[in-house]
Structure formats: C-alpha cells, structure tokens
Amino acid sequence: MYQMLSGRLPFTGDLESVIVQKLTANPEPLPDINGEIPGQLKRLVFQMLEKESDKRPESMDEVAEVLKSVSGKLVS
C-alpha cells in the first residue's frame, strides 16, 4: 500500500540493507511524498508497517473498514 500511494518502496537497497531498515528505520512519511493522502489512510499505512505486531491492525477486516471510510475522500 505504501508503494501504491507513494510510487516507491518503503525500504530500498540490497537484501541485507532492506532487512536492517525494516528492523530499525521508518520509511519516509507519506505527507512528504504526497500531501493529498487523507490522514486516516496515512495512519493505516504506517500502522501496517509497525515493527511491533501488537501495534499493527489485528485483521484484514479492520483494514477494510478504514479503507471503506476513506474511499469517498479518495475519489473526487
């Protein structure tokens, strides 16, 4: 989803570098890339990228609910 909204991967480089980044770094904030993304969607994307599993959405149903709630804001 990050790539779909930003046009780039959240982490780049060789395999070892990407693994280290996934464990230790945060991707560039979406507002810096695309300021037109609704806040609720930005929060969802970064929740899905959380390092700690208990901070990520608990289910795809939860993700779907957020996507439904912002879908009207994306099509204008």
pTM for the predicted model, two decimal places:
0.80
Local confidence band at 35 (pLDDT 50, 70, 90 cut-offs): confident
Over range 44-71, report the average pLDDT: 93
The label of the residue with tokens 């099509």 reads: 75
Residues in the chain: 76
Kindly give the residue spans of alpha helices, DSSP state H, lying in the chain: 2-6, 15-24, 30-33, 39-48, 60-74
With beta carbons less than 8 A apart as the criterion, state whether 59 and 32 touch: no
pLDDT, position 33? 74
Fold of the domain spanning 2-74 = Transferase(Phosphotransferase); domain 1 (1.10.510)
pLDDT number for residue 21 = 94
